[in-house]
């Protein structure tokens, strides 16, 4: 395990990933047999004339961390820091001795309770963790240990290897506002079973160029609510942030994000982004906290089964100026994925304008979470009152746009100080 070959293997893998970090913390997992063999050597030394039994020993993990840390510092100028957002996890394995602790499991009075289970055709054993093994080793007297395991430990034929090597960096977050200028685009990839319903999503359009920039493993787009796939998002756009998992490049310049905005603009993409910027992890809470307080403005194209008189339109608009309290049950169209609840939602304002024939333009400002489509047609009486009720006719929605989401996000001029390491 202390072979420089293994240390160089770790550093080589780190080099290949090209992380732009200046610090890292190293975590080490050792073969379980090492703890048994360490105790075996302690018992041997106590009964020998070497005079080493009382000497303090350095933890093997600390030696490995030092060796890897020195190599990283020498070759890449990466220094060790326990608080770094970059973590190197090294798991050593040694199949030739992985049964050394079995005598502890079979020992009378053992506290180790193992359980074997099968997962995806592979058998796994749990219960014999490092802490469980150390507890049982410490519970053995020297005499009992020597009677159960060889002192010195039996020799091994093959060296240890690096079984697992994980290079993990804390996620970075990029906030902004997106506009959806065409319909039939979902916020995130939309599947029913194995079939994809929409060809394009906001997450695809925004996430892929950012993923290429930061070189992350994956990304997750979180929006301040979401509009249906057939609804456009206009105005200043909908607030969102993108969580980038395990980024290799975390020090992003504002002009690099501006270049992505301009690229989508030049390509005339149906999805545009504004105010892209690095944000702090704690700033993501604004999206969730804003769910209960933000308001939204909508514009809808509405069809009525009969034309409305000027008096009827004026009456509806007067009601709209005073605000309307709705009682909305979970819409039929989403009952398959949302709990059947009744919610009180308030329309802050409403304005109905005639267009031609039986078509009307409806502008609405409402609390977040209001189902606007259902307010228009009533959803078979599940939304009360509805525009159809107020007009005394059958109403249906042809098109819907979100014109504004009143949430101040992303924060202005965020200093992404937490992403420098």
Q: How far is CA 2 from the centre of its chain?
A: 36
Peptide bond into 152 cis (omega under 30): yes
Q: Can you name the residues that pair with 124 across neighbouring β-strands?
A: 117
* Element housing 302 (H / E): strand 295-304
Cα separation, 400 vs 373, in Å, equals 8
Classify 257 as helix, strand or coil: helix
Cα separation, 272 vs 250, in Å, equals 23
Cα separation, 367 vs 296, in Å, equals 6
* Element housing 370 (H / E): none
Helix intervals (H) in 80-218: 102-106, 130-139, 142-148, 202-214
* Element housing 10 (H / E): helix 4-17
**How many residues are present in the chain?**
421
Just list the catalytic residues. Answer: 228
Burial of 384 (0-12, 13-18, 19+ CB in 10 A): middle
Cα separation, 326 vs 386, in Å, equals 8
Q: What are the backbone dihedrals phi and psi of residue 18, each rounded to the nearest 5 degrees, phi first?
A: 55, 50
Q: What are the backbone dihedrals phi and psi of residue 285, each rounded to the nearest 5 degrees, phi first?
A: -65, -20
Cα separation, 326 vs 401, in Å, equals 20
Residues 6+ apart with CB under 8 A from 142: 43, 46, 47
Handedness of CA 240, 243, 248, 249 (dihedral sign): positive
Q: With CA atoms as reference, report the closest residue to 280 among 239, 254, 241.
A: 241
**Contact status, residue 76 vs residue 14, Cβ threshold 8 Å:** yes
Q: What are the backbone dihedrals phi and psi of residue 180, each rounded to the nearest 5 degrees, phi first?
A: -115, 105
């Amino acid at each position: 395990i202390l072979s420089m070959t293994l240390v160089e293997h770790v550093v080589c893998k780190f080099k290949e990933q090209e992380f732009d970090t200046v610090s890292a913390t190293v975590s080490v997992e050792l073969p379980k047999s090492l703890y048994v063999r360490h105790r075996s050597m302690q018992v041997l030394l106590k009964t020998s004339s070497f005079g080493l039994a009382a000497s303090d020993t350095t933890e093997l993990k600390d030696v490995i961390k030092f060796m890897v840390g020195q190599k990283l510092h020498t070759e890449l100028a990466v220094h060790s820091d326990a608080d770094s957002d970059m973590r190197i996890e090294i798991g050593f394995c040694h199949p030739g001795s992985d049964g050394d602790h079995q005598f502890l499991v079979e020992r009378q009075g053992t506290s180790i309770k193992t359980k074997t289970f099968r997962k995806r055709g592979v058998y796994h054993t749990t219960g014999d963790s490092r802490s469980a093994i150390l507890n049982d080793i410490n519970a053995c007297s020297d005499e009992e240990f020597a009677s159960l395991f060889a002192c010195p430990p039996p020799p091994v034929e093959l060296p240890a290897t690096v079984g697992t090597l994980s290079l993990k960096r804390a996620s970075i977050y990029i906030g902004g506002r997106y506009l959806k200028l065409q319909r039939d685009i979902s916020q995130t990839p939309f599947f029913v079973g194995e079939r994809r319903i929409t060809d394009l999503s906001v997450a695809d359009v925004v996430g892929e160029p950012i993923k290429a920039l930061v070189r992350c493993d994956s990304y997750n787009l979180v929006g301040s609510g979401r509009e249906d796939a057939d609804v456009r998002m206009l105005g200043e756009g909908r607030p969102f942030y993108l969580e980038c998992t395990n980024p290799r490049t975390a020090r992003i310049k504002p002009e690099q994000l501006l270049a992505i905005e301009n690229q989508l603009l030049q390509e005339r993409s149906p999805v545009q982004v504004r105010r892209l910027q690095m944000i702090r992890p704690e700033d993501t809470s604004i999206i969730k906290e804003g769910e209960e307080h933000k308001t939204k403005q909508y514009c809808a194209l509405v069809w009525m089964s009969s034309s409305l008189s000027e008096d009827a339109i004026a009456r509806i608009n007067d009601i709209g100026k005073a605000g309307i309290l709705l009682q909305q049950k979970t819409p039929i169209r989403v009952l398959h994925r949302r709990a059947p609840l009744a919610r009180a939602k308030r329309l802050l304002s409403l304005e109905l304008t005639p267009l031609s024939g039986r078509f009307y333009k409806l502008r609405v400002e409402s609390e977040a979470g209001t189902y606007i489509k259902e307010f228009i047609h009533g959803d078979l009486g599940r939304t009360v009152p509805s525009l159809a009720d107020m007009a005394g006719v059958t109403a249906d929605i042809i098109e819907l746009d979100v014109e504004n989401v009143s949430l101040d996000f992303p924060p202005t001029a965020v200093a992404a100080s937490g992403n420098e390491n």
